[in-house]
Chains A and B, each alone.
Chain A
Amino acid sequence: MRLRTTLASLLVSAALPVSAADMVFTSWGGTTQDAQTQAWAEPFTAETGVDVLQDGPTDYGKIKAMVESGSVSWDVVDVEGDYAAQAGPAGLLEPLDFMVIDRSKLDPRFVTDYSVGSFYYAFVIGCNRDAADDCPKTWADLFDTEKFPGKRAFYKWSAPGVIEAALLADGVAPADLYPLDLDRAFAKLDTIKDDIIWWSSGAQSQQLLASAETPFGSFWNGRLTALAESGVTVETSWDQNITAADSLVVPKGAKNKAEAMKFIALATSAKPQAELAAATGYAPINLDAPSEMDPKVRATLPDAQDAAQVNADMEYWAAHRDEIGTRWYAWQAE
């Protein structure tokens, strides 16, 4: 037994605790988080002297466990908008301090008592020009397996995007989308189910399109921009692009609440938002940010496409997240 205690003490001493002056920002990893580090965390550290440790990827199971145990190691977390809208009232998040965060400049579509937008993105129709004879332009095209035979890629997880696309393809007017007619949406999805290849991560969606495994499909716009930059001939259709946002939240009981609020205030201010948008291809949620941007870059972002835009209703999704999710996964497994 002595050996075990010695070992145990050795192990514990090797652990590296996070020092008190730091805070932890958690996002989904990859290029987006790298951009968030550069555009938000670095200026924040320069301004306040507080180091921002990057963690990730975001995991809702982890957030729940942390809050329940009262040992919360994440201070600011980038989550999906519908999760934020649900988790806040469910007691998992701290209310945000709008004395510190300037609410007036933020896009009101993405602000709740517990969350503010992080950036927003659009589900658009992407197509690999070299692999497809003809590119689908509308959701109806993407759901038309006769005009556009072959596999098509869709987002695997239950989230705003695919159900809306199915309804739009079936002829529902954008204004009549909510409340979602789930029966109709699943019936429409059934018609192409055998031709769908699901992507579970942004990288996988790019891989599918680049390798022509799926010549077309529904993608996050930022991923298509990156794909085009890497030399793949991508055609993007913004027709009825479906927008949803990521949100910034503070888990309940976060250790560095004050720093967290300051961090969010900076992250959502005009210039850092503009920089993040330029780096990722996603749109800023600060209303002043577009004027800080290069007009050429701006033209490629979702907010330049608002005429064709369809907004996912986060409130609706928050209220029905569990119900839709359960049905969604059951339908997929059928």
Chain B
Amino acid sequence: MPAVAVPVSSRPAPLGAAEPSGFAYVVPALLLVIVFFVFPVAALLLRSVTEPAPGLGNYAELFGSTTYLRIFLNTFLVSGLVTLISVTAGFPVAWMLAIMPRRLGRIVFAILILSMWTNLLARTYAWMVLLQRTGVINKTLMAMGVIDKPLELVNNLTGVTIGMTYIMLPFVILPLTGVIRAIDPAILQAAALCGATRAQALRRVLLPLALPGILSGALMVFVMSLGYFVTPALLGGTANMMLAELIAQFVQSLVNWGMGAAAAFALLVVTLGLYALQLRFFGPGRAGGL
């Protein structure tokens, strides 16, 4: 709806005087988050400067090591790749889902829900067995004579990307479908009347109108990917380790909470920084749901 474009703040004051500032609405959720999230997490993060000795030693170790820096880079590489593929593949599907005949749309929708509903671990394991050298995909391709040596599809970047894209796709498609459905078809008809070709209409009208939805979906996927842990651990090789896995290793295997907290804090700062950047460039209204 075009009305979305009206900035929130320029609206006339609501008629019902019962909403002085709206802050009261936020209070219940805020209380929950402060007591059971901010407080415990802050207490843990504090350990990054107190354990094993007070000071910034953990951060020096974290940023002084090429290994850890590479894990950082790799985390962003994988997340970026997954985001790019999920959005590129998700947009056409969301678009089709929004305008398809109902019957067909329901089937696609059902598949989306089914895949989300199936246990994450089970799905990841299924991919492991599908992708491995002696797995179904390699066996099929070899039987068909497409390849004569098994492809390396798992325990590497390919495996992580496939597995994570698989998980993220529904998270892009579902909200994006809503966004596209909300676009008034008349606008595109108008574009056609003005003589725009399909490609022009897509580039100049549909994509810009869907952009807030695309961006918020992309940010959600990117941010979720940064903190992912189970899928990279099972489908990636150790050379593709991601930050969340490193943190888990520090916390659970090495019982070195100082380093774990330092790595977590670094990840948190970078991610919140990205979020702030997005706010600056696109503003709260344009950032869609986020």
Report B252-282 residues with CB < 8 Å from chain A CB: 252-257
Contact, CB under 8 Å: A200 / B71: no
Contact, CB under 8 Å: B252 / A61: yes
Contact, CB under 8 Å: B254 / A332: no
The listed residue (A213, A329, A334) touching B134 by CB distance below 8 A is A213
Stretch at the interface among B90-98, B167-175, B233-241: B233-241
Please name all residues of chain B whose beta carbon is closer than 8 Å to the beta carbon of A61 when the two chains form the complex.
251-252, 255, 257
Q: Could you say which of B134, B135, B255 has the most chain A C-beta atoms within 10 Å of its C-beta?
A: B255
Contacts known (A200-B233, A213-B134); A332 close to B238, Cβ less than 8 A: yes
Chain A proximity of B64: nearest CB distance (Å): 12
Does A325 sit at the interface, judged by CB under 8 A? Answer: yes
The listed residue (A157, A325, A334) touching B67 by CB distance below 8 A is A334
Bound Cα distance A207, B253 (Å): 23
Please name all residues of chain A whose beta carbon is closer than 8 Å to the beta carbon of B71 when the two chains form the complex.
333
Residue tally, chain A, CB below 8 Å to B? 25
Digit string of A184-217 for contact with B (CB within 8 Å is 1, else 0)?
0000000000000110100000010001110000
Does A322 sit at the interface, judged by CB under 8 A? Answer: yes
Chain A proximity of B128: nearest CB distance (Å): 8
Chain B proximity of A294: nearest CB distance (Å): 36
Bound Cα distance A59, B248 (Å): 11
List the A residue with the shortest CB-CB distance to B129: A211
Report B223-244 residues with CB < 8 Å from chain A CB: 233, 237-239, 241
List the A residue with the shortest CB-CB distance to B252: A61
Contacts known (A332-B239, A333-B239, A334-B239); A326 close to B254, Cβ less than 8 A: yes
Bound Cα distance A121, B132 (Å): 29
Digit string of A124-157 for contact with B (CB within 8 Å is 1, else 0)?
0000000000000000000000000001000011
8 additional A-B pairs beyond A322-B254, A334-B70, beta carbons within 8 Å, are A60-B252, A64-B255, A197-B155, A198-B238, A212-B134, A325-B253, A333-B71, A333-B239
Q: Give residues in A with beta carbon < 8 Å to B.
A: 1, 4, 59-61, 64, 151, 156-158, 197-198, 200, 207, 211-213, 322, 325-326, 329-330, 332-334
